[in-house]
Amino acid sequence: MRLLITGSSGQIGTNLALRALAEGHQVWGLDSRPNGWCADIPTIRHDLREQHRPLREVLAEPLAQGRLDCVVHLAAHAKVHELVLQPERALENIATLFPVLEFCREQQLPLVFGSSREVYADIQRTIATNQTREEQADFAFTASPYSASKIAGEALIYSYAHCYDLPYLVFRFSNVYGRYDNDLERMERVIPLFIDLIRRDQEVTVFGEDKILDFTYVDDCVSGVLSGIEGLVRGQLRDHTINLAYGAGNSLVQMAQYIAEALGKPLRMRIQPSQRGEVTHYVADIARAHELLGYAPQVPLAEGIRRTVAWVVEWGERQRN
Ligand SMILES: NC(=O)c1ccc[n+]([C@@H]2O[C@H](COP(=O)([O-])OP(=O)(O)OC[C@H]3O[C@@H](n4cnc5c(N)ncnc54)[C@H](O)[C@@H]3O)[C@@H](O)[C@H]2O)c1
């Protein structure tokens, strides 16, 4: 397959692009930044906010080599709390999807979109439900500007499917962690942050003692996305919205304990209330992913944390040598 992945210098984009390349697919990345982890992903440097040139021109080089099969749109400002502080970046998330949609419409390409469990807001707080099913999204309420940007993104895609027959898959990810996620100066995500702090014998702050989240090891996430791309490109699958997560809940406290164990360090922890706009309880119902993609996540949190810690330690050693 010939794939274009936007946001290819980010966590999921890097993992997805490398896996697709390893499986023999042709991949072009598109990102406003170079990839800080590896030089193996051919990357077109472009900021999707700059819309004076259509993507067909930006992508002249890959297009000169032949037709693409699919676009995977992962580029976004992906940090919930950051967008509470800077809501204009949520608007950018919506605006930067537009040229991608127009490119897909023009080139008649299917689109895969990286959405989020944030579209559900804090559903399990308000409705007694153990696991969240896709149809439980209620777009009349939203918890944060980031969540609004994903709801708006999904809505635009559904409208393109309806009006222009655009084939799509929307994946709702949940706390993806693992390799290529340790650029803390750019993006402070909870697992790499805790690894960094616990490693340096610093105290960690848990926002929400009873917060339960569905942590997804990146290899599971990437396996699900690739199965979806294959089905979409072959024409066997289209127009589905799919939860892609591990399908089990873990507290942040438990997660921090796993990290401390993996590092062989004591855990010093401070508990604070959850921050505004945050989801405090989410476990995905992944039956649809299983049914449509044969998705069966392999890596529970304790094992995923061991692998992530090992990667971070090895990465640090490689940088020092
Ligand atoms: N990682 C998760 O846990 C998670 C959970 C739910 C949803 N998502 C969604 O999945 C997608 C990928 O997430 P990620 O964790 O890899 O994020 P990330 O921040 O690591 O990567 C996003 C990439 O998009 C690029 N980008 C942002 N704005 C751009 C623009 N205007 N033009 C070009 N490139 C731009 C960034 O430079 C970055 O490399 C995002 O849309 C995110 O919202 C991620």
Give the CATH number, domain containing residue 115: 3.40.50.720
Residue 123's pLDDT band (boundaries 50, 70, 90)? low
**Closest C-alpha among 68, 17, 5, 69 to residue 180:** 17
Pocket test for ligand 1, best of 176, 186, 220, 244 (most atoms within 8 A of CB): 176
- The Å distance, Cα 186 to ligand 1 centre, comes to 11
Instruction: Tell me, yes or no, whether 304 lies in a domain.
Output: no
Compute φ and ψ for 104, nearest 5 degrees: -65, -40
Residue 7 and residue 31 in contact, taking contact as beta carbons nearer than 8 Å:
yes
pLDDT given for residue 27 in this prediction: 98
Task: Provide the pLDDT confidence category of residue 124 given band limits of 50, 70 and 90.
Answer: low
Q: Is residue 258 part of a domain?
A: no
Nearest atom (ligand 1) to Cα of 150: 43
In a domain, 320, yes or no: no
Structural domain includes residue 224 = yes
- Establish whether residue 9 lines the binding site of ligand 1, counting it when its CB lies within 6 angstroms of any ligand atom: yes
Beta-carbon count within 10 A of 30 CB: 27
**Domain count within the chain:** 1
**Which residue's CA lies nearest to atom 28 of ligand 1?**
76
Assess if residue 196 is contained within a domain: no
Q: Is residue 20 domain-resident?
A: yes
Give me the residues paired with residue 216 across strands.
176
Query: What is the rounded average pLDDT of the residues 8-21?
Result: 98
- Does 99 contact ligand 1 (Cβ within 6 A)? no
Q: Is 161 in the pocket of ligand 1 (CB under 6 A)?
A: no
In contact, 218 and 11? CB cutoff 8 Å: yes
Q: Percent of the chain scored above 90 by pLDDT?
A: 82
Integer Cα distance of 296 and 290 in angstroms? 6
Task: For the full predicted model, state whether its pTM sits above 0.75.
Answer: yes
Domain limits for position 154:
2-176+217-245+287-297
Please tell me if the CB atom of residue 29 comes closer than 6 angstroms to any atom of ligand 1: no
| Residue 47 Cβ contacting ligand 1 at under 6 Å | yes
Q: For the chain, how big is the Rg over CA atoms in Å?
A: 19
Could you give the C-alpha distances from 32 to 63, 75, 205, in angstroms and in order? 19, 9, 32
> Would residue 197 count as lying in a domain?
no
- Average pLDDT on 94-105 reads 98
Q: What is the pLDDT of residues 200-249, one digit of tens each?
A: 999 999 999 889 999 999 999 999 999 999 999 999 999 999 999 999 99
Answer yes or no: is the C-beta of 173 below 6 A from any ligand 1 atom.
Answer: yes
Ligand 1, atom 43: closest residue by C-alpha: 78
pLDDT of 130 higher than 90: no
Whether 28 maps to a domain, the answer reads yes
How far is the centre of ligand 1, averaged over its atoms, from the C-alpha of 221 (Å)? 14
83 Cβ inside 6 Å of ligand 1: no
Q: Say if ligand 1 is within 6 A of residue 176 CB.
A: yes
pLDDT number for residue 114: 98
Pair of tokens at residue 61: 């080089």
